[in-house]
């Protein structure tokens, strides 16, 4: 069950009437009254990340938000898309003729602060195009796509600047939680190529024995790292910060790719930007 499911404990989208101007206060009230059904969860506020017009249906707008809640004593941000049209608000908007679910059509623009040197993996920071990747090295779809993007950035550093964020899907392949910490340490040591190499590592996705994973990493890539290094608080904090960035960008699956600030739903826009020979 996803974090959102645990928080909401509801699958029915509610529609309510609003005043002419949609305010943070009205959004918070809506979340409290109609979305969060778990009494252990307290809605504390909302952050509007972006607002998008739905061109097919004039009058409708998609509010991309982070719902702020307190759960088990922790402050949590839960991504939530809300659709607004005049006096109406709803969390679900589907065209039953085309089966288009507008809740899956939008993500916010990349925040400028996320383009930092700590996450610049390949390419030059002043490259013509910025590609941001949220990925897991054990995700099959990531394995198909992400190494190709990395390779193009290495071949064309003036064209692509690749910014990489770790998003291990631990419930699907727990070994990723160890691998991303290894990858982060490699990045800190200036060995960004190890990140790319570990995408071809063949290992049991459910392996949780750290010693076995580190031996496999060394054998596959030649990279030597100790358990103490990947267990450092700074490393674990960095991974948590990457996950927080994913929540900020309403990212929940991998690979999620943004090109020049916009979500690339098809994950192949970079191919059209590769310099022709």
**pLDDT value of position 265:** 96
Q: Which domains does the chain carry?
A: 3-104 (no CATH), 112-272 (3.40.30.10)
- Look up tokens 């990531």; give the residue: 142
Q: Which pTM was predicted?
A: 0.86
Residue 165 makes CB contacts below 8 A (sequence gap 6+) with 114, 119, 132, 133, 134, 135, 242, 245, 246
Say yes or no to pLDDT of 121 above 70.
Answer: yes
Count Cβ atoms within 10 A of the Cβ of residue 231 and give its class: 0-12 exposed, 13-18 middle, 19 or more buried: exposed
What is the mean predicted confidence (pLDDT) over 1-28? 56
Q: Kindly report, residue by residue over 244-270, the tens digit of the pLDDT.
A: 999 889 998 999 999 999 999 999 999
> For residue 275, what is the DSSP state?
P
Q: Give 219: exposed, middle or buried? Use CB within 10 Å, 0-12, 13-18, 19+.
A: exposed
Q: What is the pLDDT of residues 188-202, one digit of tens each?
A: 999 999 999 999 999
Is residue 30 a contact partner of residue 43, using CB atoms and an 8 Å limit? Answer: no
Q: Is the pLDDT of residue 12 over 80?
A: no
CA–CA gap between residue 49 and residue 79 (Å, rounded): 10
Q: Return the pLDDT at 21.
A: 56
């Amino acid at each position: 069950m996803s974090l959102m499911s645990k928080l909401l404990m509801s699958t029915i989208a509610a529609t309510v009437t609003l005043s002419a101007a949609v305010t943070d206060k009205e959004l918070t009230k809506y979340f409290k009254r109609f979305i969060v059904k778990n009494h252990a969860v307290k809605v504390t506020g909302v952050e509007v990340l972006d607002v998008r017009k739905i061109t097919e249906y004039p009058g409708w707008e998609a509010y991309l938000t982070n719902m702020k809640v307190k759960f088990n004593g922790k402050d949590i941000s839960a991504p939530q898309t809300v659709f607004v049209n005049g006096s109406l608000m709803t969390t679900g908007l589907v065209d039953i003729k085309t089966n288009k679910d507008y809740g899956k059509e939008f993500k916010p623009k990349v925040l400028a602060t996320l383009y930092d040197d700590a996450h610049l993996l390949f390419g030059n920071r002043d490259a013509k195009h910025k590609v941001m990747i949220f990925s897991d090295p054990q995700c099959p779809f990531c394995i198909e796509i992400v190494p190709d993007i990395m390779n193009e950035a290495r071949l064309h550093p003036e064209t692509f600047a690749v910014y990489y964020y770790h998003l291990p899907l631990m419930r699907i392949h727990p070994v990723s939680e160890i691998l991303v910490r290894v990858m982060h340490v490699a990045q800190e040591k200036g060995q960004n190529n190890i990140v790319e190499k570990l995408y071809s590592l063949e290992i049991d996705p459910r392996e949780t024995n750290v010693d076995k994973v580190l031996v496999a990493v060394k054998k596959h890539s030649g990279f030597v790292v100790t358990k103490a290094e990947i267990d450092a608080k700074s490393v674990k904090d960095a991974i948590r910060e990457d996950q927080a960035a994913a929540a900020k960008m309403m990212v929940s699956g991998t690979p999620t790719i943004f090109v020049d600030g916009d979500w690339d739903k098809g994950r192949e826009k970079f191919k059209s930007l590769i310099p022709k020979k």
